[in-house]
Amino acid sequence: MITTGIEAMSFYTPHRYLGLETLAEHHGIDPEKFSKGIGQEKIALPGHDEDIVTMGAEAALPLIERYGRENIDTLLFATETGIDQSKSAGIYVHRLLGLPANCRNVELKQACYSATPALQFACSYVARKPDRKVLVIASDVARYDLDSSGEATQGAGAVAMLISANPKVLEIGTATGLFTEDIMDFWRPNHRRTPVFDGKFSTLRYLNALVEAWNDYGANDGKSYEDFSHFCYHLPFSRMGEKAHRHLAKNAKAPIDMEKALTGMLYNRQVGNSYTASIYLAIVSTLENSAADLSGQSFGLFSYGSGATGEFFDATVVPGYQDHLFAARHQNLLNDRIAVSYEEYIALWHAIEAKDGAVTELPDEARGRYRLARIDDHKRIYTDRQS
């Protein structure tokens, strides 16, 4: 059987953040409500000229620079904060990255889950055509109403993955466990900029979907709980991952070992919620922050998207994976960020309106190579600083 999986993966997050102690101070509450209550420290904030396209392109750029564009004939873009009801955000990224014109390009949506079917579709495709590669991008801006219970769980980020029949980082297993149910725990109608959600209900359904997907995974010849050295979960906030890990261990009648999950939460605590990208950010965090050599070890992975769909699957770390990480780049990205005041956060939270078709120039705020320069006649104009 042809092995398929992740040849390389990289993430990007904007250079500004709001420390949650600043948010706590504004609301007059104990900062530990955020640092211990939900396990979060910072939320990343995109500038007005940054969005899912610029973040996705920035995340993918290191992959293109190191591995080239050759043989990439498919781009799958996963997001739940789409910028257009028709055109895929991946089309813009395709041009910014200079990918070949003979390329398939489509956007996938199912809340925070859609990057996982994109990954699975990509693996199936390269198994059929081993000489091809697929670029999978998960990119999202998590934005909630001001003063709402979700305000502290905002964030922004993107993860890009190069999928091939020559995985150098993770081999994706063929066993999967699936679960879908029609519920309203989190959704965003077309007329709203921020989502509607029932946090407590969503937590319960997340945990239920985890067990249902885990049981289905076992029924489909999946590995046993003891086979996994680490677990990575969808992380709207890191305490959710801790709840999930305890719940799964209890269901599997296994001892609870939080060390198997906590490494994957380190980046999430610094970036905040990145929706579709969050479980893949957890994988990057695990690979880059584990002191031990993880070669040959198996990860248990749970992806969840409200509405709701859950999937449990597995991945095995490929020997020599360290040579294909971008750990130093990612550390610099996180270390070089700057904190904003509450007033600056509010200014960034409010989007610049461009509904009447007039030319709207966006302030030059992005620190990366790509930016949304303006919106003109309802057209989004992205630029490459090096062009």
Compute the distance between CA of residue 354 and CA of residue 377 in angstroms, rounded to an integer. 9
Residues facing 376 on adjacent strands: 379
Q: Which DSSP category does 307 fall into?
A: T
β-pair partners for 186: 197
Q: Report whether 311 contacts 176 (CB < 8 A).
A: yes
- For the record, the structure tokens of 2 come out as 């042809």
Q: Examine the residue annotation and report whether 112 is marked as an active-site residue of this protein.
A: yes
123 among known catalytic residues: no
| Ramachandran angles phi, psi of 239, nearest 5° | -65, -30
Whether 80 is a known active-site residue: answer yes
- 112, 151, 324, 330: which one is catalytic? 112
- Whole-angstrom distance, CA of residue 283 vs CA of residue 289: 10
| Residue environment code for 175-211, b if the CB has 16+ CB neighbours within 10 A, otherwise e | ebbbbbeebebbebeeeeebbebeeeebbebbbbbbb
Question: Cα torsion for 85, 382, 132, 2, to the nearest 10°?
Answer: -70
- Residue 52: which of 74, 87, 76, 77 has the closest Cα? 77
Rounded to whole angstroms, the Cα distance separating 175 from 177 reads 7
Interatomic CA distance for residues 358 and 299, integer angstroms: 50
Measured between alpha carbons, how far apart are the two ends of the chain, in Å? 43
Which of 80, 107, 242, 311 is catalytic? The answer is: 80
Tracing tokens 């600043």 back to the chain, one arrives at 22
Catalytic residue from among 234, 245, 324, 330 = 234
How many C-beta atoms lie closer than 10 Å to residue 299's C-beta? 23
Catalytic residue annotation: 80, 112, 234
